[in-house]
Amino acid sequence: MRKLLVGIILIAVVALVAACGGGASTTPGGGGSATGGADTGAIKEGGIFRLGTISNPDSINPFVGFSSLSYILWTETYPTLVQYDQNYKIIGDWADSWTTSSDGKVWTFKVKPNGKWSDGKPITAADAAFTGNLVVKYGGGPAAMMAPFVAHSTKFEAPDATTLVITYDKAVANVLPQLQQFFILPQHVVEPIIGDKGKGLKTWDPMSAGAQVGGGAFFVKTFEKKGTTIIQKNPGYYTTPPHVDAVGLTVYQNADAMLAALKGGQLDSVDTMPPTLAKQWSNDPNYTLQIGDSSFTYDIPINSNQKKTKHRELLDPKVKNALDMAVDRKQIIDTVLNGYGTPISTVLTPLSAPYNNTDIPVPSYDIAAANKILDDAGYKRGSDGIRVGPDGSKFDWEVITPDNVEGIDRLFEILKTSWAQLGINITANKLDSTASFNAIGAPDWKYLNFDLAIWDWVGYIDPDFMLSVTLCNQLGGWSDTGYCNPAYDKLYNEQGVTLDPAKRKAIVWQMQDIENQDHPYIWVAQKKSISAFGKNWGGLTEPFLLGMSKIPWDIIHQNG
Amino acid sequence: MRAGWSYVGRRALFAVITVFIAISLNFVLFRLAPGDRTSALRCQGCTKEFKQQLKAEYGLDKSVPEQYVIYLDQTLHGNLGRSFVTEQPVISELWQPIKNTLPMILLGTIISIILGITTGVVAAWRRNTLADKGTVWGGLLFYSLPTQWLALMLILYLAGPLHLPTSDIADPYLAYTNPGTWSELLDRLKHMILPAATIGLVLFGEYTLIVRSSMLEALGEDYILTARAKGLSNWEIIHKHALRNSMLPIVTLVFLSLGFIFGGTILIETVFNYPGIGLQIYQSVGDRDYPMLQGAFLLLTVVIILMNFLADLLYFKLDPRVTE
Amino acid sequence: MSFIDAPMTPLDEVRKSPSRLRSLLSFMRKHPQAAIGFVILMAFVFIAIFGPYFAPYGEREQVGPIFGTPSGAHPLGLDDGGIDILSLLIYGARVTLIVGFAGAVVAMLVGGSIGIISGYFGGKIDNALMRTTDYFLVLPDLVLMIVVASIWGRSLRNIIIIIGLIYWTFMARLIRSQVKVVRERAYVKRAQALGATHTRIIFRHVIPQIAPLLLAQTVLMVALAIFLETAISFLGLGDPSVTSWGKMIENAFSRSAISYGAWWAIAPPGIAVAIVIMAFNMVGTAAEDSLNPRLRVSHLARRHFRLRPLPDKEPPK
């Protein structure tokens, strides 16, 4: 009986609370449901900028995490020598200036002298040298995550507190773009935990002392992988301080929850808006929608391993060409991206201009022409309408579809319907991303089993990384196609050390031509990035580039 | 004659053995899984030596029986390994989600009991009328709705009008403004109420039926006639006599259900983005975070076994008809 | 006396009744909800079998914009791929019902066999099998399903197998106790004395006796299986190549139907699932009630709690 009474009281209390509790929670400074008003230009200092996201930062430790949100956090909380500006050009960040030796192998950076870590200790070139040497030493092991950004470096030296000297074993062409993600760690925090053979680097918890010791505009005050992470203003920041006091990053499981929070005034901005909802929100006067380019691309990896035994018809460039012509990019962009995308035909997006090869055309959707190519190549249709290769191999393929790619079900369905008209049948094998990658490399990274996949890439601005995924030495590393072409590799190594941008561009264009002939990928569409801001914030002119550059906190402000 | 301790002893032994089987089968389940930790590595610079080193570290280069023994030893010492994703100990990674889920399911259970008792009483009291049929069928209806769908409906139609948040466990920025404890508690409650209500709605049907049938039985007994003759009010009859009857099955059901709800919150927590054990399991599966899954699985199984054991004890103590 | 081990008295009455049809009709009259449930089920089965022939649009046919609103041509609107939802419901009926039936049948076959063997032979075999059953009873079912589906692949076949492998325990326990009762019956003892083989006795005497209960349980199991398939699909672990009602809910959810306000993409499949599950429950519950009136715990408890009965008491001789 008592239980009943207690229960009823509890329910009553809850009901009262729910009824009384208002909608938007009050927050300091910014936030609250935005009411109209454009950017008046008047700046109100302070406040906390609340950003919502549906991906999540997996770890605060740069040797462990690899999600794009983690990169955003590191970019805002650790010093970097250089950064990209809003036009994707490299500018100095912590470094004021730099010079290169005549052979291009030695780089000398002059860094700002007045930076302090969030615990008050000064940021000096010694920290950079320590971090660099750490990665050089353990780059094949525990420090592998940071290794690409200082690839080919052999030693880091700090002759004085504001000078950093990096020595490379060859004249690397993209030193600066790579250094954009070289996060400089505090020596006094990391050195004690290195552990035997660097093992401690992997198990290091940067939050173990309560808060992170950060050296950027912010430091991480609280970190929750699946909740809210708050980064707070670092008083010792080495350049223009941000207007805001802190930034919060809240993770949501799905877009609906996140947008409900935005509408309810619990968020100020979201990093990506699902394309299905963009049109709705663009009509809402309380919010500004920012639409821009991103380097997110949908692609179809095709098993291009010359040694494979099954479905060798997939090695025929004519077949791959026909497949390319039978991808209805327009319908995909309309249905999957709700119109917010552009068709592409090469591995590099316009974000990497001028390196993207604009001479390679996007094939028009032409089923008849595709059928003709297959007919002329001698692939006859069987009694069930499915084409058969000369070795008896039916055009009946399995497509690996990782479950974390947005809209992948729809994409697959569209492909299935289009290719059915070519006499091709495809079935989906949906796996999580780890299993998908394993399935592509199966067995044991020999790339013998898989036929095709659908996936996405988010490339960097510098073309080096995206070009490198089809190298022979990436089999078992980043390769999801099993492609290996020594001629291509040779060109890759050349562009890596060609310092003249025009010459480098020529080589990179040539590499894309080769890829276009061999078609390890069919490149489908580039997604537009869509973010939304409440109108009580000003200075937000670009959608967030997902870790590709620092967010301009010196401009972003609450409207006064 | 009641052989009390022998019964308790046997149930306890059974529980312990089942836990042991659970630990072992855990091992089998996840070791049988295709791929291992090192195959999941996708680092550009990872050398073959490093992958070998990792394999050795995780003990993956030893034979399976050896791995089993090591696993057993570690588990019994409370070491459940480290999460693949965060490299932090599994136990500490699981602790927070558990703390998040518990109050929510307790609230949900309370709601379901209250709803169940009230509807059961109404149904029994007004037997064979519309109220009776309506409440019983109502219970069946809510039980039949897909749980995640019910949650989505609550979000669509209740959250807005009631000004309730639909995701997460608390307002993330509340702590930043240094509010009082009462404010924080209220905030938590507001976030908890919709997921708990979903649980309550799904489960109340069972309690309705129990209460209804127990009450019907009791209402037909002689002592009730006596009570009426004595002039006791309806209310007293209900709660002093009839409800007593259903306490036992209800409590047993509560214990048994707690174990399963614990794991069954996956659907609800996914919809509400509630960072509890259900959501953690779901995400660990996607991450292929085997140590976390092993730990969570073990935890759930142990909880269920424990709850079953407690339910057995309870039944034994309270039901004089059980002998051994 | 424990919950589930109740003797089956009314069955003898059923056996003595004049004709099967008459008893069925009187059953229906006593339990009107079973009749309603039965009619609903038949309707859905009809839709599942013949629906695809008269569905207005194709299963993959995009006929309008994403989340098109309900209109004359499309009374239930369009989903996140511009496909007609009414048609999808019709196609989905087939998948959902197939998984439900198949899963329940697997559970029945496995559970029934184990129950029969356990109950008939008793002794050490019985003990061993029941201990195994007890272990399966404590497995968290949804979690196990998620793990298996994501590790061994997402296919209808896997889902059906998993459903069967986890839920045979219900059947096993119930059937076992009934078989124990039947085994003590006079005609069984007589058959044994006459030298009939175990197989013959099981097939000629035991199975016909327990068949009605087995069937009633299977019907309830179908509801459970459908519920689970919906849950699994919702978590993204369903078979990607078929559209079930659960998948429809998942599609809507993952493509932001809620924020879009597209209730037509969410409500219909959920309601369809609920109606079908309710119908199965109505039929199964009524059948079980008439066969096993002393069951004191509701069948609803089965789903979440896989009620483990107390240590068995041998029925009084």
Structure tokens belonging to residue A494: 């050349």
- B-chain residues near C138 (CB < 8 A): 18, 22, 259, 301, 304-305, 308
By CA distance, what is B251's nearest residue in A? A3
Interface membership of B140 toward C (CB under 8 Å): yes
Task: Inspect the interface and report whether the beta carbons of B148 and C310 lie closer than 8 Å.
Answer: no
CA of B86 to nearest chain C CA: how many angstroms apart? 20
**Which of A276, A338, A427 faces C241 most closely, judged by CB atoms?**
A427
Cα dihedral: A480, A482, A487, A492 (round 10) = 20
Interface membership of B203 toward C (CB under 8 Å): yes
Structure tokens belonging to residue B62: 């030893």
Q: What is the pLDDT of residue B223?
A: 65
Task: Inspect the interface and report whether the beta carbons of B43 and A145 lie closer than 8 Å.
Answer: yes
Q: What is the pLDDT of residue A289?
A: 86
User: Could you give the CA distance from residue A26 to residue A23 in angstroms, rounded to a whole number?
Assistant: 9
Q: What is the DSSP string of A162-209?
A: TEEEEEESS--TTHHHHHTT-PPPPHHHHGGG--GGGHHHHH--TTTT
By CA distance, what is B279's nearest residue in A? A253
CA of A370 to nearest chain B CA: how many angstroms apart? 36
Task: Inspect the interface and report whether the beta carbons of A277 and C260 lie closer than 8 Å.
Answer: yes
> A interface mutation test: which of C156, C241, C251 has the most A CBs within 10 A?
C241
Enumerate residues 6+ apart whose C-beta is below 8 A from A9. Answer: none
Task: Inspect the interface and report whether the beta carbons of B297 and C227 lie closer than 8 Å.
Answer: no
> Does residue C312 have a pLDDT over 70?
no
- B-chain residues near C246 (CB < 8 A): 146
Closest CA to A83 of A177, A150, A147, A9: A177
Task: Inspect the interface and report whether the beta carbons of B149 and C296 lie closer than 8 Å.
Answer: no
- B-chain residues near A1 (CB < 8 A): 239, 243
Task: Inspect the interface and report whether the beta carbons of B176 and A227 lie closer than 8 Å.
Answer: no
> Does residue A184 have a pLDDT over 90?
yes
CA angle A419, A467, A452 (to 5 degrees): 25
Strand order in the sheet with A153-160: A95-100, A106-111, A163-168, A153-160
Interface membership of B74 toward A (CB under 8 Å): no
Task: Inspect the interface and report whether the beta carbons of B153 and C307 lie closer than 8 Å.
Answer: no
Closest CA to C231 of C149, C110, C123: C149
User: Could you give the CA distance from residue C289 to residue B213 in angstroms, rounded to a whole number?
Assistant: 13
Q: What is the pLDDT of residue B10?
A: 79
> What residues pair up with A84 in beta bridges, in sequence order?
A90
User: Could you give the CA distance from residue B76 to residue C63 in angstroms, rounded to a whole number?
Assistant: 59
Supply the pTM of this predicted model.
0.80
Structure tokens belonging to residue C123: 């002794």
> What residues pair up with A430 in beta bridges, in sequence order?
A401
Amino acid code (one letter) for C80: D
CA of C194 to nearest chain A CA: how many angstroms apart? 57
Q: What is the pLDDT of residue B157?
A: 83
> Does residue C79 have a pLDDT over 70?
yes
> A interface mutation test: which of B83, B173, B245 has the most A CBs within 10 A?
B173
Q: What is the pLDDT of residue A123?
A: 95
User: Could you give the CA distance from residue A276 to residue C260 in angstroms, rounded to a whole number?
Assistant: 8
- Look up residue B88 and give its DSSP letter: S
CA dihedral for B166, B167, B170, B174, sign (positive or negative): negative
Instruction: Give how far the C-alpha of residue A396 lies from the chain's centroid of Cα atoms, to the nearest Å.
Output: 33
Contact between residue C313 and residue C5 where contact means Cβ atoms under 8 Å apart: yes
Task: Inspect the interface and report whether the beta carbons of C298 and B145 lie closer than 8 Å.
Answer: no
Q: Compute the mean pLDDT over every residue in chain C, rounded to the nearest whole number.
A: 78
Q: What is the pLDDT of residue B46?
A: 56
Looking up tokens 């119908």 gives C279
Q: What is the DSSP string of A279-303?
A: HHHHT-TTEEEEEEEEEEEEEEEB-
Q: What is the pLDDT of residue A515?
A: 94
- C-chain residues near B301 (CB < 8 A): 138-140
* Structural domains of chain A, ranges and CATH numbers in brackets: 296-527 (3.10.105.10)
How many C-beta neighbours within 10 Å does residue B4 have?
Answer: 11
CA dihedral for A371, A377, A379, A381, sign (positive or negative): positive
- Mark out chain C residues that contact chain A at CB-CB < 8 A: 60, 62, 66-67, 80-82, 150-151, 153-154, 236, 240-241, 251, 253-260
The reply to whether omega before A354 is within 30° of 0 (cis) is: yes
Task: Inspect the interface and report whether the beta carbons of B152 and C258 lie closer than 8 Å.
Answer: yes
Structure tokens belonging to residue C162: 């998993």
- C-chain residues near A401 (CB < 8 A): 240
**Which of A274, A335, A431 faces C256 most closely, judged by CB atoms?**
A274
Looking up tokens 């080495």 gives A238
Interface membership of B283 toward A (CB under 8 Å): yes
Q: What is the pLDDT of residue A185?
A: 95
Structure tokens belonging to residue C160: 């059906």
Structure tokens belonging to residue A203: 């198990």
By CA distance, what is B209's nearest residue in C? C298
Task: Inspect the interface and report whether the beta carbons of B35 and A59 lie closer than 8 Å.
Answer: no
Look at A20-34, A160-174, A339-353, B40-54 and tell me which has the smallest mean pLDDT: A20-34
Closest CA to B15 of B324, B322, B311: B311
Contact between residue B164 and residue C249 where contact means Cβ atoms under 8 Å apart: no
Closest CA to A450 of A460, A463, A461, A439: A439
**Interface predicted TM-score (ipTM):** 0.73
Structure tokens belonging to residue A69: 């949100």
- Distance linking the first and last C-alpha atoms of chain A: 57
Task: Inspect the interface and report whether the beta carbons of B162 and A19 lie closer than 8 Å.
Answer: yes
Task: Inspect the interface and report whether the beta carbons of A468 and B44 lie closer than 8 Å.
Answer: yes
- Distance linking the first and last C-alpha atoms of chain B: 8
Contact between residue A510 and residue A357 where contact means Cβ atoms under 8 Å apart: no
Interface membership of B172 toward A (CB under 8 Å): yes
> A interface mutation test: which of C91, C158, C239, C259 has the most A CBs within 10 A?
C259
By CA distance, what is B306's nearest residue in C? C138
Looking up tokens 């010791």 gives A213
Amino acid code (one letter) for C118: S
Q: What is the DSSP string of C116-152?
A: HHHHHH-HHHHHHHHHHHHHHHHS-HHHHHHHHHHHH
Interface membership of A418 toward C (CB under 8 Å): no
CA of C244 to nearest chain B CA: how many angstroms apart? 13
**Which of C154, C240, C259 faces A256 most closely, judged by CB atoms?**
C259
Q: Where are the alpha helices (DSSP H) in B126-155?
A: 130-144, 147-154
Of all residues in chain A, what percent carry a pLDDT higher than 70? 92
Amino acid code (one letter) for B168: D
> Does residue C306 have a pLDDT over 70?
no
Three-state SS for C122? coil
How far apart, in Å, are the Cα atoms of B79 and each of A196, B83, B292, C105?
21, 12, 12, 41
Interface membership of A220 toward C (CB under 8 Å): no
How many C-beta neighbours within 10 Å does residue C32 have?
Answer: 11
C277-299, pLDDT tens digit by residue? 889 888 888 887 777 654 444 44
How many C-beta neighbours within 10 Å does residue A193 have?
Answer: 14
Structure tokens belonging to residue A145: 């995550």
CA of B257 to nearest chain C CA: how many angstroms apart? 6
Task: Inspect the interface and report whether the beta carbons of C240 and A412 lie closer than 8 Å.
Answer: yes
Query: How are the residues of chain B apportioned to helix, strand and coil, as percentages rounded to the nearest 5?
Result: 75, 0, 20
Interface membership of B176 toward A (CB under 8 Å): yes
Interface membership of A478 toward B (CB under 8 Å): yes
Look at A356-370, A416-430, C171-185 and tell me which has the smallest mean pLDDT: C171-185
How far apart, in Å, are the Cα atoms of B147 and each of A213, B276, B286, C206, C260?
44, 17, 21, 38, 21
R_g (Cα) of chain A, nearest Å? 26
Interface membership of A534 toward C (CB under 8 Å): no
- pLDDT tens, N- to C-terminus, chain B (324 residues): 445 667 778 778 878 887 887 788 777 777 766 555 555 444 544 556 666 766 676 666 777 788 788 888 888 887 888 887 777 888 888 998 889 998 999 999 999 999 988 888 888 877 778 888 888 888 888 888 888 888 888 887 888 778 788 777 877 777 667 778 888 888 889 999 999 999 999 888 888 888 887 777 777 776 667 767 777 677 776 676 667 767 777 887 788 777 667 767 888 998 888 888 888 888 888 777 878 888 888 888 888 888 878 877 776 666 655 443
Interface membership of A409 toward C (CB under 8 Å): yes
CA of A410 to nearest chain C CA: how many angstroms apart? 7
User: Could you give the CA distance from residue B120 to residue B107 in angstroms, rounded to a whole number?
Assistant: 20
pLDDT band, residue A454 (cuts 50/70/90): very high
- B-chain residues near C1 (CB < 8 A): 321
Enumerate residues 6+ apart whose C-beta is below 8 A from A292. Answer: A528, A529, A542, A543
